Amino acid sequence: MRTLLITLALIGAVPRGMAAQITDLRTALTRAESAAYANRMAAGRAEAEAAAASASLRGFLPAVRLEGGYVGTNEPLSAFGTLLRQRAVTPEAFDPARLNHPDNTGNVAAATILEQPLINADAWFARRAALSAAGAARASAEWERSGTAVRVVRGWYGAILARAVTAALDTAFASAQTHQRQAESMHRNELVTRSDALLAAVRAGEVESRLLAAQGEADLARTRLALAIGIPPDSVTPPGAGLPPAAALRGFVAADTLAAAGGERADVRAARLAASAASLDARRATAALLPRVNAFGRLDWNSADAPFGGGESWTAGVMVSWTPFSGGAELAERRAAGGRQAVAAAASEAAVAQGALELEAAATAVRVALARMDIAERGVAQSVEAHRIVARKYEGGVATVTDLFDAAAAETAARLAFAEARYQLIIAAAERRRASGREIAALASLEETE
The alpha carbons of the chain give a radius of gyration, in whole angstroms, of 39
What's the pLDDT score for residue 31?
A: 93
Single-letter code of the amino acid located at 366: V
Number of neighbouring beta carbons within 10 Å of residue 249: 22
**Closest Cα to residue 426, out of 355, 362, 366, 361?**
366
Q: How far apart (Å, rounded) are the C-alpha atoms in residues 378 and 231? A: 39
Q: How far apart (Å, rounded) are the C-alpha atoms in residues 170 and 137? A: 48
Please report, in tens digits, the pLDDT of each residue of the chain (450 residues total). Answer: 444 444 444 444 434 434 457 888 899 999 999 999 999 999 999 999 999 899 988 888 999 999 999 999 999 889 888 888 888 888 888 888 888 888 888 999 999 999 999 999 999 999 999 999 999 999 999 999 999 999 999 999 988 888 888 877 777 777 777 767 777 777 677 666 677 777 777 777 877 787 788 788 888 888 888 999 998 888 887 666 678 999 999 999 888 765 555 678 999 999 999 999 999 999 999 998 899 999 999 999 998 888 888 888 999 999 999 888 777 788 888 899 999 999 999 999 999 999 999 999 999 999 999 999 999 999 999 999 998 998 888 778 788 777 877 788 788 889 889 999 999 999 999 999 999 988 899 988 888 655
What's the pLDDT score for residue 96?
A: 86
Cα distances (Å, whole numbers) of residue 386 to 165, 177, 383: 21, 19, 5
Cβ proximity of 123 and 57 under 8 Å: no
Q: How far apart (Å, rounded) are the C-alpha atoms in residues 205 and 285? A: 73
**Closest Cα to residue 164, out of 243, 279, 265?**
243
What's the pLDDT score for residue 6?
A: 41
Q: How far apart (Å, rounded) are the C-alpha atoms in residues 449 and 417? A: 20
Give the HSE-up count for residue 367: Cα atoms under 13 Å, Cβ half-sphere.
Answer: 8
Q: How far apart (Å, rounded) are the C-alpha atoms in residues 75 and 104? A: 8
Domain with CATH 1.20.1600.10 in the chain: 25-61+121-289+333-449
Cβ proximity of 263 and 97 under 8 Å: no
**Closest Cα to residue 59, out of 5, 20, 107, 116?**
116
**Closest Cα to residue 143, out of 277, 264, 228, 276?**
264
What's the pLDDT score for residue 19?
A: 42
Residue 240 has what DSSP assignment? Answer: S
- On whether the 25-61+121-289+333-449 domain is CATH 1.10.3720.10, my answer is no
What's the pLDDT score for residue 9?
A: 43
